[in-house]
Chain A
Amino acid sequence: MQHQVTSFASYGAFRTSTPPPPISPFSGAWRNKTRGIKTETGGTRLPRHAAIVAQLELKPLPYSLDCLEPHMTRQTLELHWGGHHRAHVVRLNNLIAGTDLDGKGLEDILLATYNKGNPLPAFVHAAQVWNHDFFWQSIKPNGGGHPSGKLMELIERDFGSFDTMLENFKQAAVTQFGSGWAWLAYKANKLDVGNAVNPCPSEKDNRLVVLKSPNAINPLIWNYAPLLAVDVWEHAYYLDYENRRADFVSVFVEKLVSWEVVSHRLRIAMEQAAERARKETREDDDEEATRSDAVEMYLDNESDDSETE
């Protein structure tokens, strides 16, 4: 998910106590702000500490705040998106300002701060920003219904039926103890073991899976491709459903999910998986080529020896 550089003015209605945004290099105010320092010879140079900071911004929702009523009320969206999500963006920006993560894409920041299981303080904020972006994109007004095409085919292949998949998804969401997320993901990775070779690779090795994760964790860190997520932190449903998480998840899958977005994500995930597989076979071929070269060199040495005699 790439961040967009958009003006803060569009969020005027929800401006709380966030500081004014830094001057973006894309706005005309930049030139005026970074005045040159006059040098002895009469020229000007930019002050060395002129920091051009590309900050992550809070992506706007793809629908208005009351469009998801009555399944998700305006108040919930105002607090969830305008409060929680925004706070994570602000804190993330504060934590990465001036470090080498500044200016990177959100997924890169996420994977870097996860630090292979020893997360840095910025991880929870990066992950929650990503997770919430993903969540808002996964739902739409008048959502629900059934998926179709490749997505439905894979669901039926990997779960037996659409209803079974929904049952698994709801179970994962309801049994996630504490705060967290439930996911439908496309798993196209293999074990990260040096000599793991699949003798008969087939498309069936890549499958859809349902999983749950605690707090801010998301499946990108396990190299899965997430397709759908539901936020089961209590703040996501407590105002509308009180403690009835199962009801919230049922309404989510029946009335809110945008299966078009999920299908689109699946298409991208399958292309990326195919690309990765092609790259791996090319690397394997290269490796074989270099190994056979080495054998030939050995034979050449023998002939060389005979020449020098």
Chain B
Amino acid sequence: MALSLGSTFSLSLASPFSALHGQAAKPPSISSSAAGKIFLNTKSIEKKHLRQFQKATKVLSYYGLTSPPYKLDALEPYISRRTLELHWGSIHRGYVDSLNKQLAKSTLYGCTMEELIKITFNNGNPLPEYNNAAEIWNHDFFWESMQPNGGKLPWGGLLQQIEKDFGSFSNFRDEFVQTVITFFGSGWVWLVFEFPFYAVKTNEKKLSIVKTSNAVCPLVWGDIPIINLDMWEHSYYLDYKDDISKYVNNFMDHLISWHSATGRIVRAEAFVNLGEPKIPVA
């Protein structure tokens, strides 16, 4: 599901040794005492595999690159194939590679991506791994927030919640577009589900639109993201140049995936205790 994207189980397209992702750094060792009892040819085969394995996986990956749930040209003409090739294939992949390089030398190991983001955000004094980890998660979330033949209206419970919290769907749409148009710098615009479990006055959960800068993700302050839109210029510059209002209007009319949003909000509403522990499986 959406919230477990980028976890240690994701398959990487880059390396054929995807099953090894998330495992311990040491390759399987063959104890010399056991080796002596193994038939000679088996030992040499095992050693050959070991050598090949060592040669192939020079960079040990801890997180993999998930691919968007559609082909790279599926969002034409609203987002071109070239934009996705660069945005996913180069920029998103770059974040994954950078994070893996950083993790090779750090003690932050064995977390799910959400945990890593919260830890490295460090309550506002982010550690070096934060930017990479958060951008990986944000981009995974972004690809899933879009679909070919998307847009139009949500339905059912999600539409009811939007109408309750914004008055009407068109009010929500206008507020979202306005937030995007007045955005300065690089960052993201989100539809989040606020979950004020700390609130004294009221425990009411509601949707709201937030904007964050650079790599900041609403997970770090406990909100549950429902939809996001990448406002970094690399996500729209080739297709729209400076016409940001066309970008967001196309996003709302043709790309936004209300299927994903519905799934996310259903899961969000089902949360009883946000402190539910997630046990990482190494």
User: Which residues in A have some Cβ–Cβ distance to B below 8 Å?
Assistant: 79, 83-84, 124, 177-179, 214-216, 233-235, 238-239, 242-243
Contacts and interface: CB of A to CB of B under 8 A. Distances in A.
Contacts of A238: 233-234, 237-238
B90 interface: yes
B225 interface: no
A243 B213 contact: no
Interface in B131-185: 131, 184-185
Contacts of A214: 185
A109 to B, nearest CB: 17
B185 A179 contact: yes
Contacts of B131: 177
Nearest to A214: B185
Given A214-B185, A234-B234, A235-B237, A177 B214 contact: yes
Nearest to A244: B90
A234 B241 CA distance: 11
Given A79-B241, A177-B131, A177-B215, A243 B185 contact: no
Measured as residues with beta carbon below 8 angstroms from the partner, the interface class of chain B is 10 to 19
Interface in B238-263: 238, 241-242
Interface string B218-234: 00000000000000111
Contact of A83 (B185, B215, B234, B242): B242
A160 B234 CA distance: 36
Given A177-B215, A178-B185, A179-B185, A79 B234 contact: no
Residue among B131, B187, B232, B237 with the highest chain A CB neighbour number at 10 A:
B237
B35 interface: no
Contacts of A234: 186, 232-234, 237
B86 interface: yes
13 contacts: A83-B241, A178-B185, A178-B186, A178-B215, A215-B184, A215-B185, A216-B185, A233-B233, A234-B232, A234-B233, A238-B234, A239-B237, A242-B90
Chain A to chain B: the 10 pairs with minimum beta-carbon distance, closest first: A234-B233, A178-B186, A178-B214, A215-B185, A238-B237, A179-B186, A83-B242, A179-B185, A234-B234, A235-B233
B91 interface: yes
Contact of A239 (B186, B187, B215, B238): B238
A214 B232 CA distance: 14
Given A178-B232, A239-B238, 12 more contacts: A79-B241, A177-B131, A177-B214, A178-B213, A179-B185, A215-B185, A234-B232, A234-B237, A235-B233, A238-B238, A242-B86, A242-B238
Interface string B262-279: 000000000000000000
B245 to A, nearest CB: 13
Contacts of A178: 185-187, 213-215, 232
A179 B185 CA distance: 6
